[in-house]
Amino acid sequence: MIPDNITKYLQDKMGVEATNSVPVSGGSINQAAKVETRSGIFFLKWKRDAPERFFEAEANGLKRLREADSPLRVPKVYTYESDAGGYGNFILMEFIETGGGSDPSSFGAGLAALHTVTSNQFGLDEDNFIGSLPQRNRRHPEWSSFFIEERITPQLTMAVDSGKMDRQDVKNWQRLADRVDDMFPASKPSLLHGDLWGGNHLYDRNGKAVLIDPAVYFGHPEADLAFTKLFGGFQRSFYQAYESVNPLDPGFEERVPVYNLYPLLVHVNLFGGHYIRQCKTVLSRY
């Protein structure tokens, strides 16, 4: 079931013959499969109409998370290709076997450890993607200007241009934008997963937490934690363990909807539907 050109790539470029492939569901953007070969088992993800640099950006993000050397496991990437190479758009990485139970405490503590990797500016040295949408990471010395200019404004503009959000929403956002600098507590720019909903982590055979499908950048650590609360699914012990390493400033819960305007707008732009009303409601509250 994997595309012929990828099977050919495995043979021609890697000398690997796929003996079996099993579709893997759960992603919202790409097609994926577990690929069995005589040289081992791989996880393959592909997308026919991927934007330029799509899987390169994912590979770079995973590499950066691996190099952070936190207690969290991150799959090793073997290769990625784009249409330009003639084999289609795909990424090939280590297959993570699951089924060893879960350990939310070590996940929470591991995420706090990841957040101790810092930079001198918010942003990243390259742009990447969130879902299939572009994510711009121009560097800013202040979190508030990064959040306004690189996160909310591009997504809100996209939503207005497609008619999903309107002028009143923009007005409401401008009112909130004037106040965000006072809302966010000071923090160093921390290495974030960047797309930390429940579907973007696994637990391996040893119950160790594994980060997948990131949209990395150096940001406010509260943004990663707020993301976990957008759809839920993270246990109390995860938050307790996180806070035992990296205590949150007072008022975090009230800031969560502000951070989550970003993933919410991403969902408005990707899927529309009920996310539009939800986003308008948050904006009208400020």
Q: Active-site residues: which are they?
A: 195
* Nearer to ligand ADP (CB atom), residue 202 or residue 266: 202
Residue 43 near ligand ADP by CB under 6 A: yes
For residues 249 and 5, what is the distance between their CA atoms, to the nearest angstrom? 51
Residue 282 near ligand ADP by CB under 6 A: no
Site string for ligand ADP, 123-162 (x = CB under 6 A): ----------------------------------------
* Nearer to ligand ADP (CB atom), residue 27 or residue 71: 27
24, 160, 170, 245: residue in contact with ligand ADP (rule CB under 6 A): 24
Contact 241, 111 (CB under 8 A): no
Stretch that binds ligand ADP, among 88-96, 214-222, 223-231, 244-252 (CB under 6 A): 88-96
Stretch that binds ligand ADP, among 26-34, 120-128, 226-234, 276-284 (CB under 6 A): 26-34
* Nearer to ligand ADP (CB atom), residue 36 or residue 94: 94
- CA 107, 194, 226, 248 torsion-angle sign: positive
169, 213, 222, 224: residue in contact with ligand ADP (rule CB under 6 A): 213
CB of 210 to ligand ADP, least distance (A): 7
- Residue entry with tokens 């246990």: 235
Residue 221 near ligand ADP by CB under 6 A: no
CB neighbour class for 218 (10 Å; exposed up to 12, middle 13-18, buried from 19): buried
CB of 92 to ligand ADP, least distance (A): 10
Site string for ligand ADP, 155-194 (x = CB under 6 A): ----------------------------------------
Residue 95 near ligand ADP by CB under 6 A: yes
Residue 6 in tokens: 């990828």
33, 92, 93, 111: residue in contact with ligand ADP (rule CB under 6 A): 93
Look at residues 189, 253, 250, 174 and name the one whose alpha carbon lies nearest to residue 221.
189
For residues 31 and 52, what is the distance between their CA atoms, to the nearest angstrom? 17
End-to-end, the C-alpha distance of the chain in Å comes to 49
DSSP 3-state assignment of 204? strand
26, 101, 141, 273: residue in contact with ligand ADP (rule CB under 6 A): 26
For residues 196 and 190, what is the distance between their CA atoms, to the nearest angstrom? 14
Total residues binding ligand ADP (CB under 6 A): 19
CB neighbour class for 259 (10 Å; exposed up to 12, middle 13-18, buried from 19): buried
CB neighbour class for 107 (10 Å; exposed up to 12, middle 13-18, buried from 19): buried
Stretch that binds ligand ADP, among 6-14, 28-36, 111-119, 165-173 (CB under 6 A): 28-36
* Nearer to ligand ADP (CB atom), residue 29 or residue 170: 29
| 77, β-bridge pairs | 93
**Secondary structure in 3-state letters for 137-170:** CCCECCHHHHHHHHHHHHHHHHHHHCCCCCHHHH
Contact positions vs ligand ADP (CB under 6 A) = 24, 26-30, 32, 43, 45, 75, 93-96, 199-200, 202, 212-213
